[in-house]
């Protein structure tokens, strides 16, 4: 391929050696039909210059990119719905490449649906096209709302008919590539602890510290955990502010950089509902919307348990105890960002957080989650727009008065954002399940990708309007 000056390969995970994963090959797919390529993300790692044929060669047939040694299926364990599973690992994906981004971060190109590996456990190693479409949409919406997230990089339809027990079959197949800030999971450390290899844990800590948290001193395992705790608190707060339920917060789905990835049964809230669950199989609401902070903290304690093999318990416990204060601090910041106002200090910021949640709770099903932040973005600067809009009748009563008072205490942050055409529309951009299903239905029934492409274009416009940053 003609290399861009911005292309900087740096396959660092591969330096850890064979104990951490297995060299693999991608499946030989009968078709490779390019359905989505993220040129904006590609430009950050010097790959936007690829032709479609080159793109398919690298992300459909997985010919190694220059300077990359080839795919590796990563090994890890994990707690799945609080039950330990030592029979995990990359069963339908692999780490394809690592590159330096234009902002200096080390990023992974990881796959989903690329074929069987030694960790497949009898599975077919494939991904449904619907699953790929849903992941593109989830990542796009989360990035728009300022959540630290992997970015869907490529989606290629692969021409196989897959049998699935939880959706109409046979169904179409695809291979997805995501651009993510590390696939080193909590479960990667758990695996090393399970097999009794403190040397592997020490090597992992040093690897992740040096690459992702370099301000932590070498050998400072509690300091490393503290950084992971802080990053995880920020991620969880951003999920809550976005009204997002991940669905499967197992320890193999959380990583050391605090970046969200691997979107299966996700959902965005239609309205405030603490017990809202994304996964039909989460029968007891373990990963319900409002329980996500609890779930992430529990997962962090499992990471801390693995690190006990190489560090003292007390400083690890101190690091874990920082999650609660960090989460509340990050939640205040996340709600301020979503409302487009500047901080006024801890007390005033907490008052705004509390009154916002109270208003959403009081509004019930009549007040959808996203329109509140859309109507009142910028605080006082949006008064005329909100009070003259389609939800004018909702903006009254004691809960609203308390919210408005707390909101108007805060100055607008970058009020020029309100000049964006999106804020002249009556409704915000949302990602509720009915729309997701309609987008898929058009693809499934008529191979009509127009609604999918139109949604991504609207998300790009909304991302520009909100001006939020996730990581």
Q: Report the catalytic residues.
A: 252
The 10 Å Cβ neighbour count of residue 221 is: 23
Rounded CA-CA distance 30/217 in Å is: 49
Rounded CA-CA distance 69/435 in Å is: 41
Rounded CA-CA distance 468/242 in Å is: 11
If you write DSSP's letter for every residue of 231-255 in order, what string do you get? HHHHHHHHHHHHTEE-S---GGG-B
Which residue stretches of 243-381 are H helix? 292-307, 313-320, 323-339, 346-363, 369-375
Using an 8 Å Cβ cutoff, are 245 and 238 in contact?
A: no
Rounded CA-CA distance 390/385 in Å is: 10
Structure tokens at 274: 């603490």
Using an 8 Å Cβ cutoff, are 373 and 382 in contact?
A: no
Q: Tokens 């009509």: give the residue.
A: 448
Angle at 81 (CA atoms; ends 79, 84), nearest 5 degrees: 30
Q: Report CA-CA distances (Å) from 91 to 21, 66, 266.
A: 11, 25, 20
The 10 Å Cβ neighbour count of residue 434 is: 9
Render the burial of 360-398: b for 16+ CB within 10 Å, e for the rest: bebbeeebbbbbbbbbbbbbbbbbebbeebebeebbeee
Q: Tokens 């093999």: give the residue.
A: 309
């Amino acid at each position: 391929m003609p290399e861009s000056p911005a292309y900087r390969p740096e396959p660092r995970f591969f330096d850890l050696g064979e104990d951490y994963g297995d060299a693999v090959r991608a499946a030989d797919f009968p078709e490779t039909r390019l359905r989505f390529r993220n040129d904006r993300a590609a430009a950050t790692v010097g790959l936007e210059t690829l032709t479609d044929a080159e793109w398919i060669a690298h992300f459909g047939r997985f010919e190694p990119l220059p300077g990359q040694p080839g795919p590796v299926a990563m090994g890890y364990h994990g707690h799945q719905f609080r039950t330990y599973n030592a029979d995990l690992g990359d069963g339908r994906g692999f780490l394809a490449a690592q590159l330096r981004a234009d902002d200096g971060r080390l990023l992974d190109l990881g796959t989903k649906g690329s074929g069987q590996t030694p960790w497949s456990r009898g599975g077919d190693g494939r991904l449904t096209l619907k699953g790929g479409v849903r992941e593109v949409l989830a990542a796009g919406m989360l990035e728009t709302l300022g959540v630290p997230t992997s970015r869907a990089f490529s989606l290629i339809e692969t021409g196989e008919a897959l049998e699935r027990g939880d959706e109409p079959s046979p169904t179409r197949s695809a291979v997805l590539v995501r651009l993510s800030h590390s696939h080193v999971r909590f479960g990667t450390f758990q695996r090393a602890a399970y097999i009794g290899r403190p040397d592997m844990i020490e090597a992992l800590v040093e690897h992740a510290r040096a690459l992702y948290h370099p301000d932590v001193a070498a050998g400072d395992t509690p300091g490393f955990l503290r950084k992971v705790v802080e990053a995880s608190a920020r991620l969880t707060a951003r999920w809550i502010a976005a009204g997002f339920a991940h669905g499967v917060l197992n320890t193999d789905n959380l990583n050391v950089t605090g970046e969200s990835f691997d979107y299966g049964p996700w959902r965005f809230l239609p309205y405030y509902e603490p017990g809202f669950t994304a996964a039909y199989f989460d029968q007891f609401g373990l990963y319900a919307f409002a329980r996500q902070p609890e779930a992430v903290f529990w997962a962090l304690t499992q990471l801390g348990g693995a690190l006990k093999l190489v560090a003292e318990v007390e400083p690890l416990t101190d690091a874990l105890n920082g999650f609660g204060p960090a989460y509340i601090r990050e939640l205040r910041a996340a709600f301020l960002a979503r409302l487009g106002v500047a901080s006024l200090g801890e007390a005033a910021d907490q008052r705004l957080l509390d009154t916002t949640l109270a208003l959403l709770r009081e509004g019930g099903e009549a007040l959808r989650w996203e329109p509140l932040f859309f109507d009142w973005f910028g605080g006082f600067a949006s008064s005329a727009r909100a009070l003259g809009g389609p939800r004018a009748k909702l903006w009254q009563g004691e809960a609203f008065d308390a919210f408005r008072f707390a909101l108007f205490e805060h100055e607008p942050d970058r009020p020029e954002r309100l000049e964006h055409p999106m804020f002249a529309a009556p409704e915000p951009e949302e990602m509720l399940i009915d729309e997701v299903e309609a987008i898929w239905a058009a693809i499934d029934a008529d191979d009509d990708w127009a609604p999918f492409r139109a949604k991504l274009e609207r998300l790009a416009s909304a991302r520009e309007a909100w001006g939020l940053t996730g990581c």
